Amino acid sequence: MSSRKIRVLVAKPGLDGHDRGVKVVARGLRDAGMEVIYTGLHQTPQQVAETALQEDVDVVGLSILSGAHMTLAPRIKELLCENGMEDVLLLVGGIIPEGDREKLLSAGHADQVFTPGDPLDKITAYIFNQFQESTSS
Amino acid sequence: MDQEKLERIKALKELWAKEVEELKTREELPVTVSGKPVQALYTPLDTADLDYEEDLGFPGSYPYTRGVQPNMYRGRLWTMRQFSGFGDAYDSNRRYRYLLEQGQTGLSVAFDMPTLMGYDSDSDRSLGEVGRCGVAVDSLEDMEILFDQIPLDRVTTSMTINGPAAILWCMYLANAEKQGVGLDQVGGTIQNDILKEYTAQKSWIFPPEPSMRLITDIFAFASDHVPRWNTISISGYHIREAGSTAAQELAFTLADGFAYVEAGINAGLDVDRFAPRLSFFFNAHIDFFEEICKYRAARRIWARRMKEKYGAKDPRSLMMRFHTQTAGCSLAAQEPENNIIRTTTEALSAVLGGTQSLHTNSMDEVLALPTEKAVKIALRTQQVLAYESGVANTIDPLAGSYFIEALTGQMEAEAEEYFRRIDDLGGVLSAIDQGFIQQEIADAAYEYQQAVDRNERVVVGVNRYNTAEPMEIELLKIDPQVEKKQLERLKQLKEKRDGVKVADCLADLKKSAAASDNLIPKILEAVRCYATEGEIASALKEVFGEYKEKPLF
């Protein structure tokens, strides 16, 4: 990978309109030096996967507070793989009960899950760590 | 107070301030949760301009700062109304009957995301969302099940529904008719506040103009046929949850309120014909005094503007009646039992601020929809405040406090400043179109989060006193079969109803939508023959189009 900025797509799949968290995270990642694209609300899994491909992102962050994460996250992972983006880092944030978090991680439907109370630093540090070897500082 | 005494107090205050300068100060900043600095001490100097009759008055009298009823909770306590709904109509009906048995005095329906967005459960947009965040309602049949054995002439119901408010309201009215209850007997509230959807809650369907028309159609229909219904609940709750400050919640909510009043007047309605049925909905956040002052300021601003600017004469048009919900966003996922204490503090501020009804959040709502046990504790919290604490004995007990009156005045001034800025942008719709309100909220949310991340704002159990061991609590699980069962029932409904009649009603509705008829009778006709929510919304979308947001962060 070149020394370009880490490109992140933050997305709101599903019908839930709670966008406070996703906007704070988007801004935090941008302030930390990443290139951030925000999909806006009410995206279908197809729309999220297509935007990820078009924008050629390194990271996809899903924000889901509606309880539909066990349907939406696996579907988006599947579509990303169909688009040849199996290596993209897939993060899920929102109201995710502990049991579901373990299922998402163990099934490979998410690389990491963040929940309310996790500070922004934790998310940015996680992403930077994942790209430490491939990006020049 | 005479000038001489004030001068003396001023001199004494300077002496006191000198003494304080020498003393040690805690590291936590003395600011409200909205980031507003507060003084260490308030004195008569801060309320020297306060005029009792003009600024406070008596409860039940202009400008209603001290409350909308003359006797407030001495006459009747606030309505304890827990927002609730999950799974299918059968599941939620059981929960409602449980809550009524526990002494709850009104119902409040939470719909699932597809219902809020105008999609049927069988839409491909609804996949995985049916019955998750609330109850799935597709047709009149679901509404009949939802209120089975609940007498609609005796229980009032609040429904949090906005984009498709007219449709769900018509289903409720049609169901009342089927129960044999006349429309003049049913009471309740629909949220029906589309403006804050564009800025905060983000569950919209149509663009602003047709949305405003549906709202004024509801105003007109209700004033003729459903006189006990609150036709709108102008909501600051979601604005606050989206991250605004208290002053922004106050200002943007009232600005929305004035926009609805103007829309009603522009639609040819007399202000006193619809304004008495306008109601409000505020957040009760964790900053105790700031919240109390917000409610007091809200009543005063509303009364003044309604009288002075809009020429309302009916006292009921000047009275701001409001529902309050404690702040979901103040709750923490870590050590959830601490949320009971947060909610208690917030509920107390709502009561001291003179709310007409109250929802107290359950401790587990930051993690999932609440369990029966959690919701019972939340209801008990209100009952303890109401019957044990003594706070309901005296009306507006904090009035006259130097701090409370100064902060109430300051909140009013901050709101007035926002009204000026919104006017400069060409009004609320134009301010929304330019992203002004959305950006103000997003900025405040980001600043708050940074203050938490930098440990400037303490959240107990999150960034201070956070122990490693998690506090385990039981969570409500939505049966994964709900979606399947709902789809099956919807399929059966579509087979057994009169399809020709449904198609006729929808065609008729579209024709009226393209003209300027009041749409409520047409929607009522459609729901009576079991046209679904999604079908009615689709028909209207064909005429009205759909709203698209410009994403910003």
Contact B368 A41 (CB under 8 A): no
**Does residue A115 register a pLDDT over 50?**
yes
Is A137 within the bounds of a domain? no
CATH classification code of B52-60+77-453: 3.20.20.240
Chain A residues touching chain B at CB-CB below 8 Å? 14-20, 22-24, 26-28, 30, 36, 38-42, 44, 66-68, 70-72, 95, 97-98, 115-117, 119-121
Work out how many CB contacts closer than 8 A connect A with B: 104
Closest by Cβ to B129, choosing from A23, A68, A119? A68
Q: Is residue A68 a part of any domain in this protein?
A: yes
Which DSSP string do the residues of B289-348 spell out, in sequence order?
Answer: HHHHHHHHHHHHHHHHHHHHTT---SHHHH---EEEEE-GGG--SSSGGGHHHHHHHHHH
Q: In what order do the strands lie in the sheet with B157-159?
A: B83-84, B107-109, B157-159, B188-190, B229-230
Per-residue pLDDT reduced to its tens digit, B2-19:
899 999 999 999 999 999
> What single DSSP character describes residue B125?
G
Tokens for B22, please give them: 């020498």
Would you say residue A136 has pLDDT above 60? no
Are B329 and A20 a contacting pair at CB < 8 A? yes
Q: Taking a contact as any Cβ pair under 8 Å apart, which residues of chain B between 11 and 50 contact chain A?
A: none
pLDDT for the residue B138:
98
For B526-549, what is the mean pLDDT?
Answer: 97
pLDDT tens track for B216-260:
999 999 999 999 999 999 999 999 999 999 999 999 999 999 999
Whether A48 contacts A62, CB under 8 Å? yes
Band of residue B422 on the pLDDT scale cut at 50, 70, 90: very high
Question: pLDDT by residue (tens digit) across B264-298?
Answer: 999 999 999 999 999 999 999 999 999 999 999 99
Query: Residue B476: which pLDDT band, with cuts at 50, 70 and 90?
Result: confident
Q: Examine residue A136 and state whether it is found in any structural domain, yes or no.
A: no
Measuring CA to CA, how many Å separate B258 from each of B296, B304, B423? 18, 12, 11
| Helices and strands counted in chain A (H then E) | 5, 5
pLDDT above 70 for A1: no
Q: What is the pLDDT of residues B515-533, one digit of tens each?
A: 999 999 999 999 999 999 9
Residue B471 has pLDDT above 70, yes or no: no
- CB-based contact (8 Å) between B366 and chain A? yes
Q: Which structure tokens are listed for B89?
A: 């109509």
pLDDT digits (tens, 9 = 90+) for B320-347: 999 999 999 999 988 999 999 999 999 9
Which of B205, B449, B472 to probe by mutation at the A interface, max A CB count within 10 Å? B449
**Three-state SS at B120:** coil
pLDDT band at A137 (very low <50, low <70, confident <90, very high): very low
Contacts of B475 in chain A (CB under 8 A): 97
Quickly state the pLDDT bin for A80 (edges 50, 70, 90): very high
pLDDT at position B470 is: 67
Q: How confident is the model at residue A134 (pLDDT cuts 50, 70, 90)?
A: low
Q: What is the mean pLDDT of chain A?
A: 92
Whether the Cβ atoms of residue B139 and residue B493 lie closer than 8 Å to each other: yes
CATH for A87? 3.40.50.280
Q: Do B127 and A16 touch (CB under 8 A)?
A: no
Identify from A23, A25, A118 which residue to disrupt to test chain B contact, counting B C-beta atoms within 10 A and taking the largest count.
A23
- Residues B17-56 have pLDDT tens digits of 999 999 999 988 999 999 999 999 999 999 999 999 999 9
For chain A, the domain total comes to 1
Contacts of B216 (CB under 8 A, 6+ apart): B263, B264, B267, B269
Percentage of residues of chain B with pLDDT beyond 90 = 91
How far is B17 from B7, CA to CA, in rounded Å?
A: 15
User: What would the pLDDT profile of B383-408 be if each residue is shown by its tens digit?
Assistant: 999 999 999 999 999 999 999 999 99
Report the pLDDT averaged over residues B457-479.
Answer: 84
**Residue B414, CA distances (Å) to B36, B225, B419, B464 in order:** 11, 39, 9, 32
**Residues 6 or more apart in contact with residue B401 via CB below 8 angstroms:** B42
d(CA B82, CA B85): 10
Calculate the dihedral angle through the C-alpha atoms of B306, B307, B313, B317, rounding to the nearest 10 degrees. 30
In chain B, where the domains are located? 52-60+77-453, 482-544
The C-alpha atoms of residue B550 and residue B21 are separated, in whole angstroms, by: 50
Please list every residue in chain B whose beta carbon sits closer than 8 Å to the beta carbon of residue A26. 553
Contacts of A72 in chain B (CB under 8 A): 128
Query: Confidence band (pLDDT; 50, 70, 90) for B479?
Result: confident
Tell me the per-residue pLDDT of B142-186, one tens digit each, with 9 for 90 and over.
999 999 999 999 999 999 999 999 999 999 999 999 999 999 999
| Rounded mean pLDDT, B92-99 | 94
B399 touches A: beta carbon within 8 Å: no
Residue B457 touches partner A, C-beta closer than 8 Å: no
